Homo-oligomer: A and B are copies of this chain.
C-alpha cells in the first residue's frame, strides 16, 4: 500500500519537473502566478478545486530556476501577508476589551486578523502527492534565499510553525531499520549519513548486522524518508575507536551478551526542518526499545566527534601553552622535541596526521592534548552554553561527558577536527532527567570524575 503510494507520488513529482527545462520568471509568468495565488487564496470553487490549483502552482514552482523560485517566494511573502489596517482595528478592539467579557472574542479576532493568506497557500500544497516533502524541500530553498533576503523572514516563520505542528513528535514513528528494509530506504541512509560516510552497500550491511541497530523517526506522510537516524553498536565495553566499530572484517558480537550500546552516528536528514527538533526524543525512545529487547544492556553511550576542538584552540592559542606541563615537555624531549615551537609539535598542532604512526610521539602528546580536550569540553563557552555543538546536544539531552579516547578517529577528518580525539557521552537512564534539569537551569556540564581529573593540571 505504502509502496505503491510512494512510487506514484514520486513519479508524479518527477514528471512535474522533467517536462521542461527550468524556466525564468518573466513578468508575464509572475502575473500568472499572482493570479494563481489569488485564486488559491480566495478558494473559489471549494476546497477540492483549490487543491487542484495548488498542484498547478507546485508544478510551476518546480519548473522555475533559482531566481524564479526566489521571486515566487517573495511574491507569497510580500503580497499575501496580513492587512496592517485590519490588524490595527482588531488590536484596538482587543486592547479595549481587556478585562471585559468580550476580551476572549476580541483575542480570537486579533489572531484571525494576523492569520496571513500565505499559510493558506502553503497548506494547500499538503494535498498533492508528496506535498509534505514538497514543502520541506521548498523550505530548503527558502532558508537559502533568507540568508541574503531578510524580507522572507515572516514567511519562513509561518512555514516553520506549520511544519512544527505537522512534525510534532506525537506524529512520528520510531522504526528499526535492518538489512530487510527496502533498498530504496537504505539508499537514503547512504545519502544522508553525515558523521561517518557509508562507503558501499557492504559497509551498510555491516552496520545493520546482528550486533548493530539502526533506528529512525518517520512521518506518516513521508514514509520513505527517515527524518533522523541513529546507528548503534552493541558491545561489551565503552567503544574507544570508530574505526574499530566500522571494521567490516571484525567478528560479529553476540548481541544478547552485550552490556553496552554505543550511539556512534546521529544524522538529521531534512535541512528544511531546521528549528523542528526530535533528536532528544529519538535517543530516549531508542534506549527504551533497546532495554526491552536486550535486557542485559546496562550502559548507553555515544562515541562522538569533538568537531570544534581545534578551531577553538586556534582562537585560543593560550590553551595550548597552559596545558603543556613540565612532565609533558620531558616526554617530548625524549622524542627530540624541545619546545612548543618545535616543527614536529607544530605539525601535530597544525593537523598533519603523519605523527600518529610515531608511537612514542603519540604517547608524549596523549596527555597534554587530552587535557586540552577535557578542559575544552568542561569550560569552553559560547553565549553561556558549551562551545562544542555536539556537547551542547548531548548535555541538553541529559548525558554526561564520560571519557576521552586518544586516537578514537584516525581519519583525516578526525585529525582535522580534534587531533583524532573522540569522546563518549554517557546516558545513564536513572540520571537523564536530573541532568536535563540541571543543565537547563544552570548550564552546568555533567562529567565523570575521570574527565574532571584530566581537566586538572
Contact = CB atoms under 8 A, between A and B. Distances in A.
B220 A171 contact: yes
Contacts of A81: 104, 107
A232 to B, nearest CB: 16
Contacts of A389: none
A49 interface: yes
Given A98-B84, A105-B150, A111-B157, A47 B180 contact: no
A305 interface: no
Contacts of A420: none
A94 to B, nearest CB: 7
B47 A169 contact: yes
B6 A47 contact: no
A346 interface: no
A181 B178 contact: no
Contact of A440 (B44, B157, B158): B44
B180 A108 contact: no
A436 B48 contact: yes
Interface stretch (A30-38, A182-190, A240-248, A321-329): A182-190
Contacts of A280: 46-48
Interface in A121-163: 123, 126-128, 131-132, 150-155, 157-158, 162
Which residue of A7, A48, A185, A396 has the most chain B CB atoms within 10 A of its CB atom? Answer: A48
Interface in A1-52: 3, 6-7, 11, 44-49, 51
Contact of A165 (B165, B181, B281): B165
Interface string A84-111: 1001100100110010010111011011
A6 to B, nearest CB: 7
Nearest to A42: B440
Interface string A173-203: 0000011111111110000000000000100
A180 B3 contact: yes
A87 B77 contact: no
A179 B184 contact: yes
A443 interface: no
A150 B107 CA distance: 12
Interface in A261-281: 277, 280-281
Contact of A205 (B94, B111, B183, B185): B183
Contacts of A157: 108, 111-112
Contact of A46 (B82, B150, B397): B397
Nearest to A88: B95
Given A84-B98, A108-B153, A180 B7 contact: yes
A81 B106 CA distance: 12
Contacts of A88: 91, 95
A360 interface: no
Contacts of A68: none
A67 interface: no
Given A84-B95, A153-B105, A181 B179 contact: no
Contacts of A169: 47, 51, 126-127
Interface string A205-224: 10000100000000011001
Which residue of A46, A77, A108 has the most chain B CB atoms within 10 A of its CB atom? Answer: A46
Contacts of A112: 157
Q: Which 5 residue pairs of A and B lie closest in terms of their CB atoms, listed nearest first?
A: A126-B170, A220-B220, A104-B154, A180-B182, A46-B436
28 contacts: A3-B180, A7-B180, A44-B440, A45-B433, A46-B396, A47-B277, A47-B280, A47-B281, A48-B281, A48-B284, A48-B398, A49-B433, A77-B104, A84-B95, A87-B91, A88-B91, A101-B150, A103-B151, A104-B151, A104-B155, A132-B170, A179-B182, A179-B187, A180-B183, A183-B183, A183-B186, A183-B205, A201-B201
